[in-house]
A and B are shown apart, each in its own frame.
Chain A
Amino acid sequence: MVAGLMLACVVTVSAGQSPDDERGRQLAADAYRQLTGYGDATARLTIIVGNGRDEERRRSVRWRSIEPRGGGERTLVVFEEPRDVRGTALLTVTRPGAEDEQWLYLPAMNRVKRIASHSRSGSFMGTEFSYEDIALPDVGRYRHRWIGEDSLEGVAAWRVERLALDPASQYGRQVVWIDRDHHRLLRIDFFDRNDQPLKTLRFVGYRLYGERYWRPDELRMVNHRTGATTVIEWRDYRFRMGLAERDFDPAVLARSQ
């Protein structure tokens, strides 16, 4: 009976999906695969937030990430600049099919706090990125549809539309541009619930690391409404450094410096 119910679900899902939906989902899955399977990695990030009026602020952070055995991802961000928040650390734990969890270490107050139920539409560290934007593009969180082919700055690309299944998502839809050759994300156009352009994210300067991992040098987000921008510059990418899951335990956050 259980098998029968499962079959019914599969049939129902299949019956509701067009070939374009299936193709879109497949392309999204390929892009997701391209971003995963790295084991662990470290990098240094400079986050430049512009307000659209020739003013910008910079944050420097160290970034570490690991793919734990049970799937998902654990990411640790440790602030280096500005100086008076040096050592502040944010640990984000993503598990398939579960809510993200976050812990924050505040050195001046010597506290580790678990941040409960953070809205995914909230801003990531005061940038134009939301937590929804920086999360791994887990295929199960969206409904996809292939909408065409195009080229972006000379690179042949697929265009896939995705709709977030989370009703709390701030977006009505997103159009993702995926490189045809390497399944790299090239660009994402975000639309609000009135289908008005809201933001555009570009992935700039891809490099191949360890002959396997394509990673961009920069993520450039523009908010079309406010003109505000955020650029995240990645450097010193290192993969398979032998990081352990225990390095990403909330209990050791205070020692993460």
Chain B
Amino acid sequence: MNDRIAIYFHRIVAHPWRVLLASVVLVGVAAIGARHTRVDYGVEQFFLPSGPEREAFERYRRSFPNEDAQFTLFWKDQRSPGQAMYRDMERAAALFERAGLHDIRWIGNAQIAEQASGDRADDLSLQLLMDPEKDDRDLAAALTRHRHDPLLQGFLWDSSQTVFAIHGYIEPSQNHDAGRRAVEESLTRGIAGLGINEAELVLGGLPVARSRAPKLLAADLRFLAGAAVMVAALVLLYFLRNPTQVLLMISSIAPAYLCTLGLMGFLGKPISLLTSFIPVVVLVIGMCDNVHLVAEFRGRLRGTASIPSAVATTFSSLAVPCFYTSLTSAIGFGGLATTRIGIVVDFGVYTAVAIMLTYGFSMTLLPALLSLTRRRTFDDRGLEAVWLGKVIGPAARRVRMGRWQTFGLFGAASLVAIALGSGLRINTLLIDDIKKETPVMRDIRWIERHGFALFQLSVHLRQTGERPLHDPAVLAWMQEFRRVAEREPIVQKTVALPDLLTPIRSSVIGSSSTHELPATKQEAAELVLMAEMSDPAVVHALYRQDQGEAQVIVAIRDTGSVVLQPFLERMESYVKSHSLSGVEATVTGTPVMIQSFTARLLANLGPSVLLDIVLISVVMMQMFRSVRVGLLAVVPNVFPLLVLLGAMRIGGFDLKPSTILVFSIAYGMAVDNTIHLLSRFLEVARSAATPEAALEASLKAAGRAMVLTSVVVIAGFAVLLISHFQVLFLIGAMTVISAVAALAADLFLLPALLALAWRRRPALTAPLVAEKVA
């Protein structure tokens, strides 16, 4: 095996141009595929692909597609409502129409049914709320008269009528990432071009947030990933003092990402919000191995005759450990496939593919490129820096003394982290991972503060028997449900069919006692017909009579899953315990879908991490042909995860889907240094007198590269701390913390464990591995 590996690398360095040509061809083919890769940041990808929640949601959306299709322009005017404001709003409403939205709703086209105030007592006025021909006083009076209309307040204006709204709905066929963006950008441009100085205008709605947040994230990611690469390159430059080598290290990673993109393109997979993180992950994991390779290469070059020979021996020596570091990282990410959530599975699988491709290029392109370099002597002042020695020195000394203190220290730290971590909350917002001070979040909070809702859930009612859903008993059920729901602090308002029927009824009867439900089914049917005559779109948003479907809309605040989840459970429990014969009621909507995704993902977090640990242990056992080593290797890699849990609690972060990303990256990175140290230890252990001597030698040989990779990772990821996105900030902060924790565990805890294990069984029992890695 070792011979074959050595022969392989000797061939690589003997024919570097062939390798380069093959790489160029491969990258060219990948580029063709990458050109077909499209970007799709649609949040719908986060919904569970199947299951009862998804089926109920799809059924509901077929009948009521406007649930997440509403674009809204919020309008806070300094002027009193009147002609001037009306005309400006009319221009803005025209923008909505030009953007291709339908069912545009604003105060200018709201239809009102009321007892006419004219000379005839039997007149029923079904007319526009505002007549633009009338003067300012009449317009203001019309608004005041309907201020507390349950259908209009919280929809077309706030409770004090200081903020108004223009709504439009995107076609279901256009309600995808690209379609939403096109409309949002058209509206944003149009609103800026209106030149209205008297009003504060805020474009909002779920599609707007869904368009703007991913764009902001993508822009952030592009800038910060670039900056992270630059910082990492500068740090490498400081240590290696050789721009060519730094460039080669980065150059051998980039093709792996391009090939992954190409593969995604050929397979028709879009770049999603999650897969857009692959470059960052690949950079970290690829760079770690490359640092070890280049450091080793420079070490060997000092005593070897030629560059090709140094390259061949270096890569022959580290090919197996690097393979295992890549494999274990790939397993770590591949484990996400167990979530069975499409977007997460794609992220896990394609990251795993990218990691293995990175390994492939590191073992072909990098040696070929290095063999073409000319310099034989390097400036090693960076690698030999005194402070590096000061980090590694105590670790080497601790191998001989203070072992139990080390166990005590790490054990205590782990216990504290577990204690802190056990108090972590599982909490996720419906629009999450964005810092509060960003414009997107400021707008959302502004909208909620003014009494408008961004999110709604729905009780979807379906007629299963003879009784139509406008039957007075069903209407009464809706009213009772709303009464219960409105007691919840999370609820902003509820809307249902009775809101349409009761004002018309009181107008027809001529009674001032409004809000009385129809007395009979026939009466209700006539009122539905009248409501359809007035404004069919509004009726159909609540009731699809011929399909036997209706909904009760419950507008809610985005207060986090800590509040949302129990609320949903209470609503579901109510609906189940108050069933009506011949009517099927289901609680559904986007919040339910997001919540079920979060629940599934977090429920799978433990098993997924456990599976990763087991699989990686098995791989290590196979690599080192030792159960003991496989189990020992788990300990220093679990430690950073525990530290992360504690740090999250101290930092006030909650457990949420984006956190899983951090855990995967942290684990993938931590395991790399462990493997490199173990490999080195088992390599030198054969010739060492004692385990302690072997460990000291291992730390001296691999320690500098371990510290160097950690410093590169810390510096690169620290750049993410300035991101607008909490998810990127978290990745930055947590990766830095886990890098420090992992390095500490690998430098102190792992040697102490190895020394203890080998002291009890002095015969070094890894000849096969030693042979393999030698």
Counting chain A CB atoms within 10 Å of each CB, the highest count among B98, B102, B526, B535 belongs to: B526
User: Beyond A117-B125, A118-B126, is A123–B522 a contact (Cβ under 8 Å)?
Assistant: no
Q: In the assembled complex, which residues on chain B have CB atoms less than 8 Å from the CB atom of A118? A: 126-127, 533
User: Beyond A109-B509, A119-B128, is A194–B533 a contact (Cβ under 8 Å)?
Assistant: no
B536 touches A123 (CB 8 A): yes
A108 to B111, CA, bound (A): 24
A109 touches B124 (CB 8 A): no
Is A114 part of the binding interface, using a Cβ–Cβ cutoff of 8 Å?
A: yes
Q: In the assembled complex, which residues on chain A have CB atoms less than 8 Å from the CB atom of B111? A: 119, 122
Q: In the assembled complex, which residues on chain A have CB atoms less than 8 Å from the CB atom of B524? A: 84
A115 to B97, CA, bound (A): 29
Is A58 part of the binding interface, using a Cβ–Cβ cutoff of 8 Å?
A: yes
Per-residue 0/1 for B499-510: is the Cβ within 8 Å of any A Cβ (1 yes, 0 no)? 000000100110
A53 to B172, CA, bound (A): 11
Smallest Cβ-Cβ distance to A82: which chain B residue: B525
Interface residues of A in 23-47 (CB under 8 A from B): none
**Which size bracket describes the interface of A in this complex?**
35 or more
Is A208 part of the binding interface, using a Cβ–Cβ cutoff of 8 Å?
A: no
What is the CB-to-nearest-CB distance from A248 to chain B, in angstroms, rounded to a whole number? 17
Q: In the assembled complex, which residues on chain A have CB atoms less than 8 Å from the CB atom of B509? A: 109, 111
A226 touches B171 (CB 8 A): yes
User: Beyond A56-B546, A109-B508, is A85–B526 a contact (Cβ under 8 Å)?
Assistant: yes
A108 touches B523 (CB 8 A): yes
A116 touches B127 (CB 8 A): yes
Smallest Cβ-Cβ distance to B505: which chain A residue: A109
Interface residues of B in 154-172 (CB under 8 A from A): 171
Q: In the assembled complex, which residues on chain B have CB atoms less than 8 Å from the CB atom of A90? A: 533
Is B539 part of the binding interface, using a Cβ–Cβ cutoff of 8 Å?
A: yes
Interface residues of B in 496-549 (CB under 8 A from A): 505, 508-509, 520-526, 529-530, 532-536, 539-540, 544-547
Smallest Cβ-Cβ distance to A126: which chain B residue: B532
A125 touches B532 (CB 8 A): yes
Q: In the assembled complex, which residues on chain B have CB atoms less than 8 Å from the CB atom of A182? A: none
User: Beyond A85-B529, A88-B529, A125-B532, is A114–B124 a contact (Cβ under 8 Å)?
Assistant: yes
Smallest Cβ-Cβ distance to A113: which chain B residue: B124
Q: In the assembled complex, which residues on chain A have CB atoms less than 8 Å from the CB atom of B505? A: 109
A111 touches B126 (CB 8 A): no
Q: Tell me whether chain A's interface is mostly helix, strand or loop, or mixed.
A: loop
What is the CB-to-nearest-CB distance from A36 to chain B, in angstroms, rounded to a whole number? 26
Q: In the assembled complex, which residues on chain A have CB atoms less than 8 Å from the CB atom of B171? A: 225-226
Per-residue 0/1 for A80-104: is the Cβ within 8 Å of any B Cβ (1 yes, 0 no)? 0010110010100000000000001
Is A235 part of the binding interface, using a Cβ–Cβ cutoff of 8 Å?
A: no
Is B120 part of the binding interface, using a Cβ–Cβ cutoff of 8 Å?
A: yes
A108 touches B520 (CB 8 A): yes
Smallest Cβ-Cβ distance to A55: which chain B residue: B547
Is B640 part of the binding interface, using a Cβ–Cβ cutoff of 8 Å?
A: no
Smallest Cβ-Cβ distance to B169: which chain A residue: A226
Q: In the assembled complex, which residues on chain A have CB atoms less than 8 Å from the CB atom of B533? A: 90, 104, 115, 118, 122-126
B102 touches A225 (CB 8 A): yes
Q: Pick from B120, B522, B532, B536: contact of A108, CB below 8 A.
A: B522
Interface residues of A in 223-252 (CB under 8 A from B): 225-226
User: Beyond A104-B530, A226-B102, is A113–B522 a contact (Cβ under 8 Å)?
Assistant: no
A122 to B539, CA, bound (A): 13
User: Beyond A85-B529, A108-B522, A225-B102, is A114–B123 a contact (Cβ under 8 Å)?
Assistant: yes
Smallest Cβ-Cβ distance to A53: which chain B residue: B62
B508 touches A106 (CB 8 A): yes
B126 touches A108 (CB 8 A): no
B530 touches A116 (CB 8 A): no
What is the CB-to-nearest-CB distance from B698 to chain A, in angstroms, rounded to a whole number? 67
What is the CB-to-nearest-CB distance from A229 to chain B, in angstroms, rounded to a whole number? 14
User: Beyond A108-B520, A125-B529, A126-B536, is A194–B98 a contact (Cβ under 8 Å)?
Assistant: yes
Q: A residues engaging B (CB < 8 A)?
A: 49, 51, 53, 55-58, 79, 82, 84-85, 88, 90, 104, 106-109, 111-119, 122-127, 192-194, 225-226
What are 11 residue pairs bridging A and B, where the CB atoms are less than 8 Å apart in the complex? A58-B546, A109-B505, A109-B508, A111-B508, A115-B533, A119-B128, A122-B534, A122-B535, A125-B532, A126-B532, A192-B97
